[in-house]
Amino acid sequence: MFYIKTLSNFNEIEDTLEPHEKYRMDYVKKEYKLQSKNSIQQAKWFNENCTPSFKEHLDVSLMATGLPLLFFTALMSAGQVISNEAFEWALDMPDMFYANIEVGCFLNDIASYKQGKCEKDVASTVECYMREYGTTGEEAVAAITGMVEHAWRRINKACIEVKPAVEPVVQCLLNTTRVLEAYYLHGRDGLTYGRDLKELITFLFLKDVHV
C-alpha cells in the first residue's frame, strides 16, 4: 500500500513539471531508493540490537537522514535556474554536499543525546563514538562538534572554488546548511520541537526592524 502510494505521489509531482524538467524526477527517485536502502539497514541494526562502528554508522546514517532526498526535491522544483549539469554535480556527491549532510546528521545526534533519545531510535553517532573510542558522552559530543566545524570549513572552501555553472545549486546547499544550524542552535532540536523556533521566527517575520 505504501509503495503504491509512493509511486502515485511521484506521478503526481512529475505531472506538475514542465516537459523539459521531467528528467529531474529520475534524480529524486534515485535518492529515494538510496534513502530507503539505508533506512532498512538502520532498522536491521535496531532489530538485531547492533551498535555499528563509527564509520559503518556514518556510511549508512548520512544517506538515511533524508537530506539528500530533500535537496534533490528542492532542486527539482527550482525552475530554469538549475541546470542539468548542476543535478549531475549533486548526484556525484561532491565533498560540499557530503559536508552538508554531516552537519545535519551530527547536529541532530548531538541534540538527541542532550535531550534524551527515544528508546526505539537506532544508535546515534554520539553513542557509536562513545563505544568505539571509550569516551564519555561529553567527550563524544565535543569530538563530533569538532567534526561539524570541519565540515563547515569544507563547505566554505567549496564556495570559494565553485564553477559558475553550479553556483546556484551551491548557494542552495549553503543556505540549507545555514537553516540546519538555526534548527539546532545551542543544542536544541527545532526540527522535532517546533516551539523552539518560535522566538526566532517571530523576530524574523513579525517584529519591526528599526533602522
pLDDT of residue 202: 82
The cell 571509550 sits on which residue? Answer: 134
> What topology does CATH give the domain 24-205?
Farnesyl Diphosphate Synthase (1.10.600)
Confidence of residue 157 (pLDDT cuts 50, 70, 90): very high
- Stretch 205-210: mean pLDDT: 74
Judged against a pLDDT cut of 90, whether residue 6 lies above it is answered with no
Q: Considering only residues 134 and 86, tell me which one the structure prediction assigns the higher pLDDT.
A: 134
Judged against a pLDDT cut of 90, whether residue 50 lies above it is answered with no
Q: What is the pLDDT of residues 79-128, one digit of tens each?
A: 888 888 888 999 998 999 999 999 999 999 999 888 776 666 778 899 99
pLDDT of residue 148: 97
Residues in the chain, how many? Answer: 211
Share of the chain above pLDDT 70, in %: 97
pLDDT of residue 104: 94
pLDDT of residue 118: 65
**23, 33, 191, 178: which is closest to 170 by C-alpha?**
178
- Stretch 142-159: mean pLDDT: 96
Averaged confidence pLDDT in the chain: 88
CA distance 110 to 47: 23
CA distance 138 to 73: 36
Q: What is the pLDDT of residues 167-195, one digit of tens each?
A: 999 998 999 999 899 888 877 776 777 77
- The residue type found at 173 is L
Burial class of residue 145 in the structure, from the number of CB atoms within 10 Å of its CB (0-12 exposed, 13-18 middle, 19+ buried): middle
For residues 125 and 142, the answer to whether their CB atoms sit within 8 Å is no
The C-alpha angle 104, 109, 112, rounded to 5 degrees, equals 125
Judged against a pLDDT cut of 90, whether residue 40 lies above it is answered with yes
Judged against a pLDDT cut of 80, whether residue 2 lies above it is answered with no
Judged against a pLDDT cut of 90, whether residue 205 lies above it is answered with no
Confidence of residue 51 (pLDDT cuts 50, 70, 90): confident
